[in-house]
Each structure stands twice: as structure tokens, then as C-alpha cells.
Amino acid sequence: MTNLELESMAIELPHVHGHPNREPFRGVLTLVDVASDKPPAGARGHRVVLTRAAAEAALPSLLGMGMDYTPSLDRHDTRRKVGIITRAEIAGKNLELGGYLYAKDFPEIVKEIRGKAGEAAASTRALGMSYEIADARVADVRSSVWTLTHVTFTGAAILRRDKAAYNDTWIELE
């Protein structure tokens, strides 16, 4: 029998039936206690491990933060906010998110996610996510894999999975 741990936080927006600018999404932002598949931007070529303790402590900093993207889906663009994070939880090793994309303002990203989901097999998703952080503390900067012991989340980006530091991230519309 496997023990399942779940840490969860959310902010609740009032329900507005048929709101044209709120497209609900969910997905996996990152993995905790797992080394990244490749170095994220800002890690000076180092793969990273976000510790469970650091992720749990930083969970409240995700709420209300923006989702961003670039039209090429290959990097972050913190000035192009296309949505908001309203839910964050750690389920097992997954740091899961939920929230809303601004569907009326950015119909192209909704179409892209909807299109990629249709193209991809159920077990593989073409788009992933990547976190944005500040105030990161690294246990030992001389280590080949950096262990993040403290972070403050400042947002997240929607990317092609091949551009994300973790291959097992994903995003889908609800």
C-alpha cells in the first residue's frame, strides 16, 4: 500500500456562468524531490531538485500569480500574462496547479492547448509548464545538481514539453 500525501491551497473566485474570459485549466507544474531532466533557465547550467519542504513552504506564493507564454511556446515571457493560478497542491511528487486562462483576451493559447490535446495521445501531452521563482536558496552551489531549499513562486509559463526543465509537466483545459 502506498501512502499518498496531499498539501492543497486555493483561492475561490465567484462563479460566473459562461464567463467568456475564464477558461479553466489544470496541470502539473513540476515534480518535488526529483532532479529536473535538464537545467531550467537561471540555474547556470545546473539541473535542480525542488525539495518537498521548500515546495510546501512556497505553495501560498503561487496563488494569484500569473501564467505566461510566448507564441513560440519555447520560453518564459513574464510580461505576457494569459491566466491566473487559483489552486496549488502537492499530490505525491506532483505539484499540481489549477486556475483560469484569459480565453477572450488570448484565444490563441486556448486554441493551442485544445489543439495539442486533440493531436496528442491520451498518455502524452504536448505542452508542459515551468515555474518562475525568486529568493531561491541552493544547499550547495558547487553541486552538479542544485538542491533548492527555499523559493518564492512568482508565476508559471506554458511551454512545449521539450522546452520545460521537467518532461513530466503538462497542462490541459478542464
Q: 148 in helix, strand or coil?
A: strand
Q: Which residues pair with 27 in a beta bridge?
A: 97, 171
pLDDT computed for residue 41 by the predictor? 86
| Residue whose C-alpha cell reads 477572450 in the numeric block | 104
| Residue whose C-alpha cell reads 513552504 in the numeric block | 57
pLDDT in tens, 115-149: 866 565 444 578 999 999 999 999 999 999 999 99
pLDDT in tens, 143-174: 999 999 999 999 999 999 999 999 999 999 99
Domain boundaries, the chain: 27-173
Whether the CB-CB separation of 25 and 99 falls below 8 Å is answered with yes
User: Any alpha helices (H) in 4-136, and if so which ranges?
Assistant: 52-62, 107-119
pLDDT computed for residue 109 by the predictor? 95
pLDDT computed for residue 123 by the predictor? 45
Q: How many CB atoms lie within 10 A of CB 122?
A: 6
Query: Which has more pLDDT, 7 or 27?
Result: 27
Whether the CB-CB separation of 4 and 92 falls below 8 Å is answered with yes
Which amino acid would we find at residue 44?
Answer: R
Q: What is the distance between the alpha carbons of residues 48 and 79, in angstroms, rounded to a whole number?
A: 25
Question: What proportion of the chain, given as a percentage, has pLDDT over 90?
Answer: 82
Q: Model-level pTM?
A: 0.89
